[in-house]
A and B are shown apart, each in its own frame.
Chain A
Amino acid sequence: MSAQETAPVPIDAEGEVAAFRRDIEQLFAEVGRRIVGHQAVVQGVVTALFAGGHVLLEGVPGLGKTMLVRTLAEALDLPFSRVQFTPDLMPSDVIGTNMIVESAGERRFEFQKGPIFAALVLADEINRATPKTQSALLEAMQEQSVTVGKRSYALDAPFFVLATQNPIEMEGTYPLPEAQLDRFFFKLRVGSPERGELHAILDRTTGAGDPGVRPVLGRARVLQMRDLVRQVPVARPVQDFAVRVVLGTHPATSTLPQVKKLVRYGSSPRGAQAVLLGAKIRAVRDGRFAPSFDDVRQVVPSALRHRVLLNFEGEAEGVSTDEILAAVLAAVPEEE
């Protein structure tokens, strides 16, 4: 939302922002009871949740991705489901199927909902499934509904998908096409825990008890917070900076030689939307009423790293999109 738009209902902005900040800190605290470290990942996931987007997590197995989503679901008091993607997984295994049900002496088709009918869905190793199954999930992510036969079924809000993929085992995988990647709000990299964090993980997980997680937010509050984020205004210079950063990733419009040489396609407008929404949530989470240039800078890698596509030269040279984005951020001035 830009500064020129008006809010239909007057609200107490200071109070709303303070409540948002308080609730989100509670959420972080509750998640932190079970999840050790990974603050950036947790913040990114929560940001995407309140922005109404989905997250692609990239990391090797065993780093606690599933635990994170389960913990988040418990803290948010939302239904959770997990789908392990395999090459033989069919779309109906994800979205559900019509089954013949016999009741009162007559047979009829009844739709059996798949695991996608949950508020938080963990699509584990999404790149192991065939493109057909991937498309079924990604359509649901985009449309917030599934279609079986001639009937569409709406998914209850909030609907939040966390997909994971393993970056090292590429054999027998079906990498997500560029158009599908664009539907993820953030792409987050889950790194290995540090020494202290590993100690804490061992202390918590190898003991007798399990640190319980209390529900701190409900479905209604999550939706309320989503609405609040949309009302945060953005100053035109900050928005212009975000736009220039996004345009700076395009080889046709960028002045950077790395971009011209190594990038095939730059970010789509969805990337700019993700940057701005992420910056807004970061500002409100910080107790501010408008995002700053720094908020944009912090959000850009997560929002654009999967939207900038390298050409063959870039892939062959082993350049990461994070390096390209860092160069773009360094080259684009805040004030034009």
Chain B
Amino acid sequence: MEGAVAGGLIGLSAVASALVVAKWRGQPSLDGWWAALAIGGIALLGAGAASLRRIPWGRCARAIDRTAAVTTSASVSATASGNAGHDRTLSALAFAGAEASTPFACAAIRDALLRARAVEASSAAPMRRPRGLEALTLAAVVTVALALIPARRPRALASLPPDDGQPRAQAAHGERRLRLPPGSLEAEREEAAMARAAAAAQGDDELSKLAAALDQALRELMSGGLPRGEALDRLAELQRKADEAAAEAERARRALDAAGQALQAHAATRDVGQALAAAESEARAAAEKAMRALGEKTAAAGASERQKVAAALDKAGAAAADVQGPTPGGAAGQSDDKDDDEGDDKDGERQRRLARDKPPAGGGGSASVTGRSDPRDRRLQRLDRELGQAAQACREDPQACRRALDKTADELPKMEREASKLESRKRFSQAMRQARERLRRGGEGSADDQRVERAFGRAAQGKSGQGQRGASARQTQRAGQAGDSEAGEGSEAAGDPVREGDDGQPGGEGDRGGDEMAGLLAGQNGDGDGGGEAPAAQSGGSRGAARGEHGNTPGDGIGSGPGADDPLGAAEATLSSRGREREAKIKSAAAGPSRSQVIERAAGRGFAHAPYRNLFQDYSAAVEESLDATAVPPGRRYVVRRYFQLIRPRTQR
């Protein structure tokens, strides 16, 4: 029966596990008949296995002896006492299995047989409730409960739009609307306002539109009129546009840098190139003038000089056209394009020339040749074209060359304006990303925390601005509490390094505190029963306690500080006792291991080394004197002496 119960238990467990897996995956429930068959089958297997198991003879004998002890029969031999049982059957079986038998063994067997006759099998092995029945019942209840629990709807299925084809935002009319704490999106709105201000200053209409859209979305969110899913969608779209705008500005920046690098390679165009590739915006503004000066200079120069200028302009145009800015499409595409360009550079340049020699009306052809269909890249194409036409003009006619270079100079400020939008667009894109992340997490954190986080992010990049100092200081404090020294250094521009250092201290103090606590414990060991009056021990202990109050690491109890060197106290310590005061003079070891180290070694490795023997003599003499002088009860004296007898030095092997 117990085997069947065990098998049933295993079967139920297996079915319950299968049910849990099925419910979790959202699959329909298991077939009830199959589950019942599986449980029954495994229970039968368990019963079969249990019936095949051999019961030890000792167990049978014990069962008979137990029964015989209860049902003592009057017909039992007169030699038997009233205290029946007594493992007679067990002993008899052991004696029967032995090769040789003795008269006593035979007598024991006969006695056991006589008693076993009086025992009924039904009483020796009665039917009883099998063990594990409660567990089986519980498992059955759990399995049934699992079967009744509805399957979980997988997240992927739950997020799909409904089958009636309604847009998601409308279908989710009852969708959970975000309950954002007041002011929780204040940081994002602040970013939007800053972006609008930057867009107005730079004449960046696109950024201005994006900032306005973000501000509108945030207003709706705060008023509760925008469901979470729709808000995420709108923010995603805004972020995509912000990324594209930032990528466009970055491409312009890179194109100007590339053209400048190419022009620097030639002496005639070096001034223009240096101006274009300059890091400062003021220096870059001088590129237009340098280009116009180059036109006048070239117009007055000879044909060979014009050829050189033309070649330089060709290379600059090619370099600007080859610029691959970060596109929202991903890095793989960029990598492929770059590989193609590098692998077939000459072909690409030839095709570009062919393309720009065609009339501008077929501008789409240029885009198709370079593989860019984005209208935002037209400005780069125009720069390429202008540079190419200027090069052509310089090869043919000096005046045409000057006019063409003037025309190119007109194009440069536009490109520079586009490139200067890079920083503000990038920042806006980053702000959008953070807003989406916060919204995805459900608007966690208070407005203050967000502001602090944002300020910390700026401070960590060395971009602290006005009105951010307080937030940075708070963030610095948090970094210090975490004991992160690198974060603290990163926020040095806006934070308070002294404050940071103060807050970062407790982490380090813990270790030192642990060491000092070891010193304290050693000092207490040194006190012994004298009550801590040994000066050396006291000083070590107090120092450890004072400096280790912030420490969390416990000491090892041994210590090696001043308090641990002399466990009985200083060289001439005064031991106080209940009786009268007296002096115990202990020799102090000037060299070699300290007393605590000797005792520690003896405790760990045994009491059979010479330093311990010397130390023990000091102790035992002091103890005997103290026992004679103080009012230790006789019973306790025995314990003290016994203790010292137990820790006496042993003979070294």
Contact = CB atoms under 8 A, between A and B. Distances in A.
B154 interface: no
Contacts of A171: 634
B126 interface: no
Interface in A105-133: none
Given A6-B102, A238-B87, A315-B642, A288 B111 contact: yes
A232 B104 contact: yes
Given A287-B80, A287-B81, A316-B643, A335 B87 contact: no
Contacts of B647: 312
Contacts of B376: none
A17 B95 CA distance: 18
Contact of B95 (A6, A233, A295): A233
Given A3-B105, A171-B634, A233-B104, A289 B98 contact: no
B24 interface: no
Interface in A259-309: 264, 283, 286-290, 292-295
Contacts of A12: 103
A11 B107 CA distance: 10
A231 B83 CA distance: 22
A7 interface: yes
A4 interface: yes
B394 to A, nearest CB: 99
Chain B CB count within 10 A is highest, among A1, A3, A237, A316, for A3
A171 B88 CA distance: 50
B40 to A, nearest CB: 34
B104 A7 contact: yes
Nearest to B102: A7
Interface in A217-233: 231-233
Nearest to B100: A6
B646 interface: yes
Contacts of A178: none
B636 to A, nearest CB: 10
Contacts of B300: none
Contacts of A287: 79-81
A233 B87 contact: no
Interface residues on chain A, size class? 35 or more
B336 interface: no
Chain A CB count within 10 A is highest, among B56, B59, B99, B103, for B103
A197 interface: no
A17 B107 contact: yes
A295 B88 CA distance: 12
Nearest to B62: A335
Interface string B386-403: 000000000000000000
B330 interface: no
A14 B86 CA distance: 17
A295 B100 CA distance: 24
B356 to A, nearest CB: 92
Interface string B580-603: 000000000000000000000000
A3 B98 contact: yes
A157 interface: no
Contacts of A286: 81, 83, 86
B646 A312 contact: yes
Contact of A4 (B77, B100, B643): B100
Interface string A228-258: 0001111111100000000000000000000
B108 interface: yes
A170 B638 contact: yes
A290 B78 contact: no
Contacts of B101: 6
A3 B102 CA distance: 8
A289 B104 contact: yes
Nearest to B646: A312
A239 to B, nearest CB: 9
Interface residues of B, number: 40
A235 B95 contact: yes
B646 A14 contact: no
Contacts of A6: 100-102
A17 B79 contact: yes
A5 interface: yes
B639 interface: yes
Contacts of B62: 335
A4 B87 CA distance: 18
B90 interface: yes
B106 interface: yes
Contact of B79 (A4, A14, A238): A14
A5 B634 contact: no
Interface string B86-98: 1110110111001
B88 A231 contact: no
B104 A311 contact: no
B167 interface: no
B130 interface: no
B91 A4 contact: no
Contacts of A21: 79
B58 interface: yes
A157 to B, nearest CB: 23
Nearest to B645: A312
Contacts of B77: 14
A18 interface: yes
Contacts of B467: none
A330 interface: no
B96 to A, nearest CB: 9
A4 B99 contact: yes
Given A3-B95, A290-B95, A316 B639 contact: yes
A289 B111 contact: yes
A311 B86 contact: no
A13 B100 contact: no
Contacts of B91: 233-235, 238, 289-290, 292
B635 interface: yes
A291 to B, nearest CB: 8
A134 to B, nearest CB: 18
Interface string A90-111: 0000000000000000000000
A304 to B, nearest CB: 21
Contact of A283 (B58, B86, B93): B86
A233 B86 contact: no
A149 interface: no
A235 B105 CA distance: 9
A207 interface: no
B105 A233 contact: yes
Interface string B60-96: 0010000000000000011111010111101101110
Nearest to A18: B79
A249 B98 CA distance: 30
Nearest to B105: A233
A10 B81 contact: no
B86 to A, nearest CB: 4
B623 to A, nearest CB: 14
Interface in B370-417: none
A315 B639 contact: yes
B102 A233 contact: yes
B103 A13 contact: yes
A76 to B, nearest CB: 24
Contacts of A13: 103-104, 106-107
A289 B646 contact: no
B643 A288 contact: no
A-B residue pairs, 4 tightest by C-beta? A13-B107, A235-B94, A289-B108, A235-B91
8 contacts: A4-B98, A7-B102, A11-B103, A13-B107, A235-B90, A288-B108, A289-B111, A335-B59
Interface of A: 1, 3-7, 10-14, 17-18, 21, 170-171, 231-238, 264, 283, 286-290, 292-295, 311-312, 315-316, 335
Given A1-B102, A6-B100, 19 more contacts: A3-B95, A3-B102, A6-B102, A7-B102, A13-B104, A171-B634, A231-B103, A233-B104, A234-B91, A235-B87, A235-B91, A236-B94, A286-B83, A288-B80, A288-B88, A290-B87, A290-B105, A292-B87, A311-B646
Interface of B: 56, 58-59, 62, 77-81, 83, 85-88, 90-91, 93-95, 98-108, 110-111, 634-635, 638-639, 642-643, 646-647
